[in-house]
A and B are shown apart, each in its own frame.
Chain A
Amino acid sequence: MGIPAAPVITSVFQDLVKTNAYKKGMPLQRFTFVPHPVAGKPASVCREYLEGKDPLTGKPVMQEIVEALTKPLTEEEKKTGFIERPTPPRLVGPDTPENLHQIFLKNGWTDGLPIVLPTEGKVAEMLRGTSHRPDEVVGTMRPSGPHEAWEYTVEKVAINAVMAGAEPKYFPVILAIASTGITSLFTSTTSFGRMVVVNGPVRDQIGMNSGIGALGPFNHANATIGRAWTLISRNLGGGGTPGQTYLGSLGNNLNYNNLCFPEKEEELPEGWKPLHVQKGFKAGESVVSLFSGWSIINNGGFKPYPYHEVMKYQSLGFFTSGTGNCFKSGVPDSAAFTVLLDPLVAKDLKEAKGFSTKEELSQWLMKNTFKTAWAYWACRPDDLKKAKEGVEPYASWLKLPEGALVPEPVFFDPKKPIEIIIVGGRTNPFWQAGDFNYIASGSVDKWK
């Protein structure tokens, strides 16, 4: 804007704003910090913070803000040109394997678990899993929109694939994930999780497991492909440094391998399309599809109630899940729901309940899931205002008891349809559901 700015930051974000200011070319930005949090504090406490001292510098807060606006600039602050950044050397070492493992761990290049050291031999072997040149640029990735994007080549993806313990035959799947440019370690205070679903012939070609225990630690391809995405997100996507490029308050255990599994296409009921076909790919193509969410819950169909009715109530749990946007003042409410069905559940829904496609089930759930009046007004303050002004239908809904359902669907966003995926080993009619929404797909065949 060309006028002086004084950023005032709550202290927990000090690393984030300092590193970002550096990356945005203002390394000497004049920050003033106040205690964290300020949200929800009464006026008296806010005044105390403002008339108190910056918890980092010890200077009086208001004086520091005024100085940020009025103190003449130093020569360093007026500087133009470019900031020299150290280029990482191509090789690490020579050193003993034990020391190299420590170097990788201390530099934050791992997920905290032991890795396979990426020797030139192992990386060359991984590169044989694709026809693409090692120096071809695969894409760019960033921890979230405001952060800088890092660029990476086929060789760099191969290095991280080796570290994850992947085999060369998995490499096209890993390249397909990397080519989307989507990080698995999205930085947000809300601790996102991710999910990878693999479709097409590649599932069997590389021995992935879509049957018993598909989402568990029982298959090498499922385990290492999912893990590779996290290592790529740290090392090639510039993310995963807590406080700077990762802010999830609690973190998310799903980030270890991002729920990587293949869809059990062979067990889809007749008329139900595989996920990649739903997303516009041909059945014979191999594809990875990525989802974003936070959490998963489980249910079993042992009582004689229709599964889809149970799913409807289960899905209600997810409008309070995720970001908590439903109850966040000033933020539009939005919810997502993805269901992972054991083939036995899918068969029942098709044959006994008449859902002839995945889409039919998805649309039924979207049209028939409602929240209570209390929750509706808590989520929609603007509608509450209209209701009190007598605007219909809100005024009539306001007469409903708190526990009654408001006939406005919870899942209303057409960009976030409820997704249905088939996976599992038919040991019992179980399903798992999560607050996940589909974000992107990538062709595996392109990277063979």
Chain B
Amino acid sequence: MKKRINWLLIGVFLVASLLVAYGSNAQEAKMTVLNPLGSTPLIRCVPMAPRLDTLSGKTIYIVNVKFPLTDPFLVEMQKAFAEKYPQAHWVLRDKKGTYFDDDRALWAEIKEKGHGVIMAIGH
């Protein structure tokens, strides 16, 4: 009888030891992996252009970038600014092509004749 109890105690001890060892391994099973991200380019700061000291006598272009069906919004923008700020000249211009296209001639005109520009993005 005493022998059987001894064997039982040994068995319990072994099972308990295994459980403790398994638990501590599970806790320690840490790993490192490789970062999947690519390299981002350097960002060069572009200083913003000097602001206007006043709107009086200035020509401000409003550019319709040609997002579909936004013409009424831009027409209304031109009207609203002309009513509220009549001291400035508000010029509404359509960019050529679609919103995908560049319009270097318009940018050159604005640079030459404009003092500021409002660009509307989105639809």
Contacts and interface: CB of A to CB of B under 8 A. Distances in A.
Contacts of A78: 47-48
B77 A50 contact: yes
Return the 6 tightest CB-CB contacts between A and B, nearest first.
A10-B122, A236-B38, A39-B69, A93-B32, A46-B76, A39-B123
A397 interface: no
B23 interface: no
Contact of A69 (B31, B38, B116): B116
Chain B contact residues (Cβ within 8 angstroms of A): what range? 35 or more
Interface string A2-35: 1111111110110001000011111011100000
Interface in A84-101: 85, 88-97, 100
A431 B118 CA distance: 50
B17 to A, nearest CB: 23
A81 interface: yes
A70 B33 contact: no
A69 B34 contact: no
Given A1-B107, A79-B45, A85-B43, A8 B121 contact: yes
A73 B110 contact: no
Interface in A343-364: none
Interface of B: 29-55, 60, 66-70, 72-73, 75-77, 80-81, 84-85, 98, 107, 110-111, 114-123
B68 A330 contact: yes
Nearest to B53: A70
A70 B51 contact: yes
A123 B33 CA distance: 9
B68 A10 contact: no
B92 to A, nearest CB: 13
Contacts of A329: 68-69
Contacts of A65: 118
Contacts of B114: 1, 3
Contact of A25 (B37, B45, B80): B45
B38 A235 contact: yes
B123 A10 contact: yes
Given A151-B39, A156-B38, A8 B48 contact: no
B111 A3 contact: yes
14 contacts: A2-B49, A6-B116, A8-B118, A28-B48, A38-B123, A43-B72, A62-B81, A73-B48, A92-B32, A92-B34, A104-B36, A120-B34, A149-B41, A235-B36
A40 interface: yes
Interface residues of A, number: 89
A164 to B, nearest CB: 10
A163 interface: yes
Contacts of B41: 148-151
A80 B47 contact: yes
Contacts of A117: 31, 33
Contact of A159 (B36, B47, B77, B84): B36
A408 B39 CA distance: 48
A26 B84 CA distance: 29
A329 B72 CA distance: 13
Question: Interface centre among B33, B75, B98, B107, by most A CB within 10 Å?
Answer: B33
Interface in A103-118: 104, 109, 117-118
Contacts of B43: 22-25, 82-83, 85
Contact of A97 (B29, B35, B36, B115): B29
Contacts of A10: 121-123
Nearest to A97: B31
Contact of A109 (B36, B42, B66, B98): B36
B76 to A, nearest CB: 4
Contacts of A88: 35, 37
Contacts of B34: 90-92, 118-120, 123, 155, 159
B33 A82 contact: no
B110 to A, nearest CB: 6
Interface in A137-165: 141, 148-152, 155-156, 159-160, 163
A163 to B, nearest CB: 6
A328 B68 contact: yes
Given A6-B117, A49-B73, 19 more contacts: A1-B110, A8-B121, A29-B48, A36-B123, A38-B70, A38-B73, A69-B118, A71-B51, A78-B47, A79-B45, A83-B43, A83-B45, A91-B35, A92-B35, A93-B31, A104-B36, A236-B38, A330-B68, A330-B98
